[in-house]
Amino acid sequence: MNMVYLQMKTIIIGIDAATFKLIGAWLDRGELPNLKSLIEGGASGVLESSLPPLSPVAWPTFFTGVNPGKHGIFDFVVPQGNDNPSAIKFNNLSDCRVEPFWAHLNKKGIRTGIINLPMTFPPDKLKGFMVAGLGSPGTDSDFVYPYELKGEFLKALDGKYLIEIDNDLSATPSVYRAQLIEMVKIRKKAALFLLKKTAIDLFTIVFTATDRAQHGLWKCLDSNAPEFKPGFEDAILDVYREVDKAIGEILEAVPSVEHIIVMSDHGMDAVYRSVDINRWLELNGYLRFKDMSLVSNLKGQMNRVYMGVKRRLFKKGAALLRSSQYIDWKNTKAYHLGSWGNIYINTKGRFPWGIVDYGKDYDDIREGIICGLKALVDPLNGALVVKDVLKREDIYKGELVSRAPDLLVLWQNNYTSVKSIVERFTKKENSSIDGGVFKPPRGISADHTMDGIFVIKSPLVLSATKGLNANILDICPTLYYMLGLEIPTHLDGTVITKAFKRDTLEQRPIKYSGGGKTCSFRGESAPYTEENAQLVAEKLKDLGYL
């Protein structure tokens, strides 16, 4: 056994989108023995996700311990807000405005290693190592820190490291499953290599294959799915089995580990119908699109500008980056943008062609949208499709609330939102009974829910304690407490005290420090280059997020 391993005391394992709704029966049947062993030996329960329950929001909420109103990331994309009203920008780590846990731990002398944590590109210059995850443009980019480690890292993996799989949601279940399993194996191999290579005290790894499997393969186990594909009922379980096997091998390689946290960023459930919010806004007078004849002209203009970009990138990347050019901004009061139910009011001062004044006009528009969407009924079954529509000030707090979408739609089970404005122009469904508001879920057969999971195993924690409830905000302060550190008072979460032994809480009372002042992370943004933004857009579209 390599002696470097003996320095390891803490491991955080992310299983993206894991939910007891799906894995509960598998655990009971003994299908996931390593995860089951951790649950039996520790404290576990449901972990409530961020609002919205979306990876680019949830993972930063976890690694900062603060709500999006402080860390500043509300989706994959955000309106650029410059002279071009149609410009959007993809968020990355440099847009996070609050100190992440690894920076805090580094200041305490705790070296950290991180693999595949979403929203960590460009990788931070931490004490340890970081291999950036979702949001990285690809392995040709500087996605590994220290930068000089990249060559040796890729060589150790025979140049086959996968940040994301190459196939999109249109792949056959067998092909999709096979590549997801390969991605898990590569991730495990990367972990074992780096743990031998670099001395660290805390290690974090995230397996995103489970999320991708559920998005794309839920239709294989759900006979109610619009595109039900029998014969692959165990496809998602096969991916989980591989993750469970990887967890076992990693823990076996680190026998000295004391504290283990397993968590997911959100849950997942079947989705049968998508709601085109922009079409609904259009039908209700809040949004106006440009004349359809302009679309072909716009495509020609874009093609001339991006002659050097591959046609595939143009179709998937550049078109997405400029899809909001279809909007007639001078006659639009509100629009939807992003991978969830985010609605922006086209306000003066915030947007270059804003037409809505803050005050009564703003309030009336928001109330009208809230009432209208909450009354929206699916004509197929008469069901209400919107669980709630929330105002940003009611769910976020902090200096960056003004950057948030003005409204957030929460969906009833089995519904989600159409992700792209482009789809409004490529699907001729506006003559249907619902005016084109409802559509098939376009590739994905499951989407995110609020109920994730957490498991904590430690000498400080109760064993075989199930059914607890916590929030994703609580993981960061709980981690600090386990490591014997004071809790920064700017954190929004709290220590999950019900997970700990009474003696632990009595002998190690929770202590706080910092006076409530938020620890800023980065002063200046480091946006993607134009080409990298297109690469990110392409991959997010392949995964069903855009």
Q: What are the tens digits of pLDDT across the range 248-264?
A: 999 999 988 999 999 99
Mean model confidence pLDDT for the chain: 89
* Greater model confidence, 70 or 540: 70
Tell me what the mean pLDDT of segment 124-145 comes to: 95
Q: Which amino acid is at 131?
A: V
In a domain, 319, yes or no: yes
Q: For 221-230, 287-296, 515-524, which range has the lowest pLDDT when averaged over its residues?
A: 515-524
> Which of 446, 461, 482 is where one domain is finished?
446
C-alpha separations of 292 from 220, 296, 369, 468 in Å? 38, 8, 25, 53
Q: pLDDT per residue over 387-437, tens digit each?
A: 999 999 999 999 999 999 999 999 999 999 986 655 554 444 444 567 889
Rounded to whole angstroms, how far apart are CA atoms 93 and 225? 36
Pick the most confident of 171-175, 338-342, 475-479. Answer: 475-479
pLDDT score, position 466: 97
Same domain, 375 and 302: yes
Domain annotation covers residue 108: yes
Same domain, 472 and 492: yes
Collapse the DSSP code of 267 into the 3-class scheme (helix H, G, I; strand E, B; otherwise coil) and give the result.
Answer: strand
The answer on 239 and 226 residing in a single domain is yes
Question: Residue 3: pLDDT above 60?
Answer: no
Q: Taking 50 as the threshold, does the pLDDT of residue 303 lie above it?
A: no
Do 477 and 373 belong together in one domain? no
Q: What's the CATH number where 172 sits?
A: 3.40.720.10
From 380, 413, 446, give the residue that closes a domain. Answer: 446
> Does 242 lie in the same domain as 289?
no
The pLDDT, as a whole number, for residue 74 is: 97
pLDDT at 6: 39
> Could you give the CA distance from residue 31 to residue 26 in angstroms, rounded to a whole number?
5
Tell me what pLDDT residue 519 has.
66
Residues 264, 186 within the same domain: yes
Residue 412's domain comprises 272-446
Q: Does residue 179 lie within any of the structural domains?
A: yes
As a dihedral over the C-alpha atoms of residue 486, residue 488, residue 489, residue 490, rounded to 10 degrees, the angle is -170
pLDDT at 4: 37
Whether the per-residue pLDDT at 523 is higher than 60: the answer is no
Higher pLDDT, 484 or 79: 484
The reported pLDDT for the residue numbered 200 is 94
Residues 205 and 306 in one domain: no
33 domain residue, yes or no:
yes
Which residues contact residue 162 at a Cβ distance below 8 angstroms, ignoring those fewer than 6 apart?
Answer: 179, 182, 183, 186, 187
Report the number of distinct structural domains present in the chain: 2
472 falls within a domain: yes
Q: Are both 469 and 365 inside the same structural domain?
A: no
Within-domain flag for 218:
yes
Same domain, 59 and 186: yes
> How far apart are alpha carbons 142 and 128 in whole angstroms?
16
Residue 537 counted as domain residue: no
Residues 145, 263, single domain; the answer is: yes
Share of the chain above pLDDT 90, in %: 74
Q: Which amino acid is at 498?
A: K
Indicate if the pLDDT at residue 524 is higher than 50: no
- State which of 427, 446, 465 marks the end of a domain: 446
Domain membership of residue 437 (yes or no) is yes
Task: Quickly list DSSP for 9-39.
Answer: -EEEEEETT--HHHHHHHHHTTSSHHHHHHH
Q: Are the C-beta atoms of residues 324 and 421 closer than 8 Å to each other?
A: yes
Give the per-residue pLDDT at 140: 93
Number of neighbouring beta carbons within 10 Å of residue 194: 24
463 and 376, same structural domain? no
Residues in the chain: 546
Query: Is there a single domain that holds both residue 315 and residue 366?
Result: yes
